[in-house]
Chains A and B, each alone.
Chain A
């Protein structure tokens, strides 16, 4: 298996623009997580899906952030409008029945 696949690997955008990050979890995994990593705050859970259903979105910073999982093999994290303080590395991770979570390589987002 190729592991968790995220795209793009790097994204540079201007403040106010919409940004969409994509994730393909490992086949057969029923849990999907979106994390954000910064030097100041470390690794933070944004949202957790189980069987494609959002279970916990308490970590989503504000209404500018939204996440969807239309099927078991695809999820998106959207920021609209983006702001410079959203600059971070965004990770997607998947797991099978709340066992070990496997992380993707991340998307490094820079908002200028």
Chain B
């Protein structure tokens, strides 16, 4: 059972465009993490959100945790080729170590 659904699965845009990717679940999570994974590398943590409704900004990236802590979104403003990669969300419950990962959104930003 896929507990975390990410959409879209693939996204190809031009440099300078804005985009939003989504992470949805029918389950409540105590925390939600977003990672970026580049080809041939492991995932790298971008942000952790823990409070329903929480919004965090990381330069041109804005992360939001849904009020009910079941969903999250990642918005990128003025995308750049360096933003290209696989964006993964991961939900945590109780024990901090056990994360459930979505399958990811593969983003390509064309120059």
Residues of A within 8 A of B (CB): 4, 31, 33, 39, 41-45, 48, 50, 55-56, 91, 93, 95, 98, 100-106
A contact residues around B101 at 8 Å (CB): 42-44
* Total inter-chain residue pairs, C-beta < 8 Å: 45
Residues of B within 8 A of A (CB): 2, 40-45, 48, 88, 90, 96-99, 101-104
Q: A43-B88, A45-B98, A56-B98 are in contact. Are A100 and B41 (CB under 8 A)?
A: no
Q: Which residue of A lies closest to B102 (CB)?
A: A42
Closest Cβ of chain B: how far from A58's Cβ, in Å?
Answer: 9
CA distance A106 to B38 in the complex (A): 12
- A42-B2, A43-B101 known; 4 new pairs, CB 8 Å cut-off, are A45-B98, A95-B97, A102-B42, A103-B43
Contact check, A105 vs B45: say whether CB atoms are below 8 A apart.
Answer: no
